[in-house]
Amino acid sequence: MESLMNRSLVASAMVALSLGAAQPAAAQVQAVTPAVAKAVVAAPGTSLAGAAQGDVTVVEYLDYNCPYCRKMHAEIQGLLKADPKARVLYKQWPVFGPVSTYAARAVLAATWQGKDLAAHDALITSPSRLDSQDTVRRRLAAAGVDLARLDRDLIAHKAEIDALLERSQEEAQLLGLRGTPALVIGSTLVPGGLPSAMLQRLVAQERNESQAPSR
Amino acid sequence: MQRLFLLVALFSTFLAGPLWAAPSLDDRFQLRADSLPSGDVRLSWAIAKGAYLYRDHVKVAAGAPPRALPATTSPGEMKEDPGFGRVEIWRSQGEALVKAADLAAAGSPRELSVTYQGCEEDSICYPPVTRTLALPLTPAANAPLTPSASLAPAADEPIASAQAVASPQIRVAEDTSVVSRLAARGGATWVLLAFAGFGLLLAFTPCVFPMYPILAGLLARDGDRLSPRRGLALSTAYVAAMAAAFAALGAVAAWSGSNLQMVLQSPWAIGLLSAVFVLLALSMFGAFELQLPQAWLNRLSRPVGDRRPSVGSAAALGFTSALIVGPCVTAPLAGALLYIAQTGDLALGAGALFALGLGKGVPLIAMGVLGPRALPRAGAWMARIKQLFGAMFLVAALWLASRVLPASVTLAMAGVLLLGLAVALGVFERQAEGAGVAAHAAKAAALVVGLWGSLLLIGAASGAESPLKPLEALAASPAAPSEASDAAAFVTARGLPALEREVAEAVSAGQPSLVYFTADWCLSCDVIERRVFDDPGVRAELAGVRLIKADVTANDAAAQAMLRRFAAAGPPTMVFLDRRAAEAGDARQVGELSARDFLESLAAVQETRS
């Protein structure tokens, strides 16, 4: 518990570091309590990318039309390639308007045909802005998503999809996220992107600390 | 602990954007709303460094349910993202204009909701921010906004907006003062040396020319008694005082933020100095003796150390003449003023100006030392020399007065002066028998001077204004229209709104623009107008460039606002804006310049059109 708190302090930035003032900084990072960190990873609702039996989970909040989320895709792939025990949970938090929202819903709806990760990859690697629903659908179709099935699932599972998006939004607010992308690695929150190498080190550290006996 | 270091390294290197303790979005994107006299509502964003807004994500809506209102947004810059394509973004600032007519068509809503969205460069993208403004805005100032930023989901209906141009987004190039750059390179000594060097380079510009006859007259008053040593003492005192005046003037101006040059260019200050010059001239002509009291003359024959009164008067003359003639606005002067304003380091800024003045004075000191040797010793010649300096004083007086006198009056007075000079040169005197070539040449010169003086009088009588073209008004009138159309077509702005409007028009026409700060009392501006804007090569290149004169003659609040907006020290300053109203780096011209310098700066904004 104490070590978790300390790590969160660090993540809350250098202000606390230079002051050594634990109390006010702790107040700042209340959002990332271990309970929240755990809740964020628990019951994902979507498939996990990477090792199914992985030990460290990286959570990424993203929007399919956010340029830096697009850039993060390669960094995430780098992590998964380098670290066979890491896994990634994508949380759709659309901030770029209706098309982004549609893209997020479509990826979630693809879960029911087992294509959510394929759908995610297809949209996050789009070479241009997703400027309309048609653009989104074209990319999904090219990735092997059954559009007729998708449309049915979008209607049939509307409530579940709504709930997932709402939940991501709530988590984002709870975590105090200011925008996309944002990463949660254990109880460390990284607002913004991160190069693959840094990501790997954070995952390794998280693994070491979670394996150490809890104090 | 290791993790701590990792994170510190991580945050400090990779993440330039906001962190946990990041500033609020209001600090990243500061929205201001103004009500314009036309009833239009102008929204402007001040965007923090590193952040940007998407131009086409700006949406304005009113009513319940919200209905989109058309808004014209200022052009942004194209951002090329390899994985994302081209998007138009605003950095540092952006503007949107909601027309009064559109507000009226929407039923004059009581509230306006403004939605905008942006990112941090290489970091994160923010959800859209929606703000609500209560209408009508108080027209006086920037209405405070109701702080209701929310992470609102974007409006469901896409809102059409953004096609044309509203107010320009003038981006003034960031310029670290030349003083700071020099100081960074080699410390204060380097700054002072460099400014002395700049001064030397500026010693032969019209701003310094009046100093030569003033000092020459001062030296000539001593006549035969002038020794190189005494010349050195007098001229050094004169120059040191002049430099001190520059430093004081610059320091006070930069410190108080006002333009003292303007005050000193007032008609009465000019009239006073003019009168002083006339008096000096008359004494040269022997109308009365400006002799120092006998007691002083006695002292003057003593060693140098005791010649304080005369050295003191040289210093006084140097100080006052520097104040009145004024330090023309040149690049080093502007740099020093900027430095003082930016850093508050009065000492180094004023020191730089002092060094600048000393540099300008080097030729004057040389004149003081070499002058006595060059001056002929014989008595008869001395009288002529004195008359010549008398004439020079009159020229200086007239030249000063011309700033406040109508051009035709100046012309007439110049005519009288030249006729007088011709007489003094002996135009009506009998040519001595067996006179040499020199005497003939002198006579011819006297005749030419007299003739030109007559022409000036005729020209003045016929309404001409230029001393070089006195018969212009008498010349065939068909020439006149072509002359007028040849002149570079400047529009004149006398306030920031007019200036911004002109720049906006240039932007909407896809033209680069030149903002030329000038004033009637700016000496160098006349030179620029002749040397640069009358140059055929320059004129050819000016086609397609919006030419805007920012007239700061009045030096009132409106003029100051224009200067501040462009971070200009004073006239003459030329700001070159490309077709997106961004100033080209290093293109700015301050002070006098050649046609070639001008064309180089102009090329900088023409090349950037893409």
Residue numbers in B near A12 (CB within 8 A): 20-21
Task: Give the span between the Cα atoms of B234 and B483, in whole angstroms.
Answer: 48
- CA separation, residue B44 to residues B58, B158, B379, B583 (Å): 11, 22, 75, 20
Q: Is A69 close to B151, i.e. CB distance below 8 A?
A: no
**Cα of A122 to nearest chain B Cα, Å:** 13
Do A94 and A45 reside in the same domain of the chain? yes
> DSSP class of residue B581?
S
The full set of domain ranges for chain B reads 23-134, 178-378+393-400, 406-475, 484-607
Whether residue B321 contacts residue B331, with contact meaning beta carbons closer than 8 Å, is answered with: no
Q: Given CB atoms, is A7 within the 8 Å cutoff of chain B?
A: yes
- The mean pLDDT value for B293-313 works out to 49
Residue type, B597: D
Rounded CA gap, B268 and B404, in Å? Answer: 9
Task: Write out chain A residues lying below 8 Å of B6, CB-based.
Answer: 198, 201-202, 205
Contact check, Cβ <8 Å, A95/B156 = no
Q: What is the 3-state secondary structure (H, E, C) of chain A?
A: CHHHHHHHHHHCCHHHHHHCCHHHHHHHCHHHCHHHHHHHHCCCCCCCEECCCCCEEEEEEECCCCHHHHHHHHHHHHHHHHCCCEEEEEEECCCCCHHHHHHHHHHHHHHHHCCHHHHHHHHHCCCCCCCCHHHHHHHHHHCCCCHHHHHHHHHHCHHHHHHHHHHHHHHHHHHCCCCECEEEECCEEEECCCCHHHHHHHHHHHHHHHHCCCC
Contact A13 B120 (CB under 8 A): no
Say if the Cβ atoms of B87 and A14 lie within 8 Å: no
B17 CA: distance to closest CA in chain A (Å): 8
Highest mean pLDDT among A38-52, A70-84, B492-506: A70-84
**A140 shares a domain with A95:** yes
The answer on A91 and A26 residing in a single domain is: no
Instruction: Supply the pLDDT for residue B253.
Output: 67
How many domains does chain A fold into?
2
Q: What's the domain range around A3?
A: 1-31
pLDDT at A17 over 90: no
pLDDT reading at B543 higher than 60 = yes
Q: What is the rounded average pLDDT of the residues B460-486?
A: 62
Q: Are residues A27 and A82 in the same domain?
A: no
Q: Does B164 touch chain A (CB under 8 A)?
A: no
Taking a C-beta distance cutoff of 8 angstroms, is the pair B344, B268 a contact?
Answer: no
Nearest residue on chain A to B82, alpha-carbon basis: A127
CB contact under 8 A, A95 and B126: yes
In Å, how far is B507's CA from the nearest CA of chain A?
28
The answer to whether B104 contacts chain A (CB < 8 Å) is: no
To which H or E segment does residue B95 belong? strand B93-98
Interchain CB distance below 8 Å, B7 and A10: yes
Same domain for A77 and A50: yes
Among A123-137, B431-445, B463-477, where is mean pLDDT lowest? B463-477
Q: What are phi and psi of A68, to 5 degrees?
A: -80, -20
Examine the domain organization and report whether A14 and A60 are in the same domain. no
Partner-chain contact A98 B125, CB within 8 Å: no
- Residues A25, A124, single domain; the answer is no
Q: How far apart are CA B578 and CA B347, in angstroms?
A: 37
Q: B481 and chain A: CB distance < 8 Å anywhere?
A: no
Q: Encode pLDDT of A105-138 as tens digits.
A: 999 999 999 999 999 999 999 988 898 999 999 9
- Least CB–CB distance from B154: residue in A66, A98, A209: A98
Measured CA to CA in angstroms, residue A81 lies from A54, A74, A84, A116, B608 at distances of 13, 10, 7, 20, 44
Higher pLDDT, B305 or B40: B40
| Shortest distance, CA B512 to any CA of chain A (angstroms) | 31
C-alpha distance from B125 to closest chain A C-alpha (Å): 5
**Could you tell me the two tokens for B212?**
């030569």
Average pLDDT, chain B: 73
Helices and strands in chain B, H and E counts = 21, 17
Confidence of residue A197 (pLDDT cuts 50, 70, 90): confident
Token pair of A61, please?
A: 């909040």
* A176/B85 CB distance under 8 A: no
Select from A101, A129, A191 the Cβ nearest to the Cβ of B124. A191
Does B463 touch chain A if contact means CB atoms closer than 8 Å? no
Task: Using an 8 Å CB-CB cutoff, list chain B residues near A201.
Answer: 6
Residues A122, A41 within the same domain: yes
d(CA A108, CA A163): 11
Q: What is the DSSP letter of B290?
A: -
At the top level of CATH, the class of B484-607 is alpha beta
Most confidently modeled range among A78-92, B155-169, B501-515, B534-548: A78-92
Establish, for the pair of chains A and B, how many residue pairs have beta carbons separated by less than 8 Å. Answer: 120
**What is the per-residue pLDDT for A32?**
55
The larger pLDDT score, comparing residue B495 to residue B222, is at B495
* pLDDT for res B372: 66
Task: Read off the amino acid at residue B466.
Answer: S
Residue B333 token pair: 């002067």
DSSP B584: P
> What pLDDT score does A2 carry?
37
How far is the CA of A118 from the CAs of A50, A103, A178, B73, B379, in angstroms? Answer: 13, 13, 27, 39, 107
| Rounded Cα distance, B599 and B586, in Å | 13
Name the burial class of residue A171, with classes exposed (0-12), middle (13-18) and buried (19+) by CB atoms within 10 angstroms of its CB. Answer: buried
Token look-up 């107008």 returns: B529
Rounded distance between C-alpha atoms, residue B96 and residue B190, angstroms:
47
Instruction: Indicate the pLDDT class of residue B1, thresholds 50, 70 and 90.
Output: very low
Amino acid identity, position B559: A
Q: How many whole angstroms separate alpha carbon B39 and alpha carbon B89? A: 27
Chain A residues with CB under 8 Å of B2 CB are: 205
Cβ atoms of B103 and B71 within 8 Å: the answer is: no
What are A138-180's pLDDT values in tens digits? 999 999 999 999 999 999 999 999 989 988 888 888 777 888 8
Asked if A10's CB is within 8 angstroms of B154's CB, the reply is no
Interface of B with A in 283-322 (CB under 8 A): none
Whether residues A96 and A121 share a domain: the answer is yes
pLDDT at A184: 87
Instruction: Say yes or no for a CB contact (<8 Å) between B154 and A198.
Output: no
> What residues in B contact A92, CB-CB < 8 Å?
none
Question: Can you tell me the mean pLDDT for B35-54?
Answer: 86
A26 and A57 belong to one structural domain:
no
On chain A, the residues whose CB falls within 8 A of the CB of B158 are: 97-98
- The DSSP result for B206-264, as a single string, is TTTTTHHHHHHHHHHHHGGG--HHHHHHHHHHHHHHHHHHHHHHHHHHHHH-S-HHHHH
Q: Is B373 helix (H, G, I), strand (E, B) or coil?
A: helix
- The yes or no reply on domain B23-134 and CATH 2.30.30.90 is no
- A contacts of B123 (beta carbons < 8 Å): 68, 192-193
The string of pLDDT tens digits covering residues B244-302 is 888 887 777 665 555 555 555 566 777 777 787 787 777 767 655 544 444 444 444 44
Cβ-defined contact of A180 to B124 (cutoff 8 Å):
yes
Asked whether residue A167 falls in the same domain as residue A133, the answer is: yes
- Which residue among B18, B122, B156 places its CB closest to the CB of A178? B18
Residue B356 to chain A, least CA–CA distance (Å) = 46
Residues 6+ apart with CB under 8 A from B363: B200, B203, B204
What does the H/E/C string look like for B134-147? ECCCCCCCCECCEC
Contact A191 B20 (CB under 8 A): yes
Task: Judge whether residue B557 has pLDDT over 70.
Answer: yes
Place of tokens 């310094």: B208
Give contacts of A 97-156 with B, CB under 8 A: 97-98, 100-101, 127-129
Q: DSSP characters for B467-500?
A: TT-TTTTTS-TTHHHHHHHHS---EEE-SHHHHH
Give yes or no: residues A77 and A162 share one domain: yes
- Contact A67/B117, CB-based, under 8 Å? no
Cβ density class B502-520: b for 16+ within 10 Å, e for less: bbbbbbeeebbbbbbbbbe
* Chain A residues within 8 A of B125 when measuring between CB atoms: 63, 66-69, 95-96, 179-180
Q: Copy the structure tokens of residue B522.
A: 């700016």
Tokens read off for B166: 């509203």
* Side-chain-facing half-sphere of B552: CA atoms under 13 Å: 28
| Chain A nearest CA to B16, separation (Å) | 9
Residues 6+ apart with CB under 8 A from B95: B42, B43, B44, B45, B73, B74, B166, B167, B169
Of A128, A173, A192, nearest to B124 by CB-CB distance is: A192
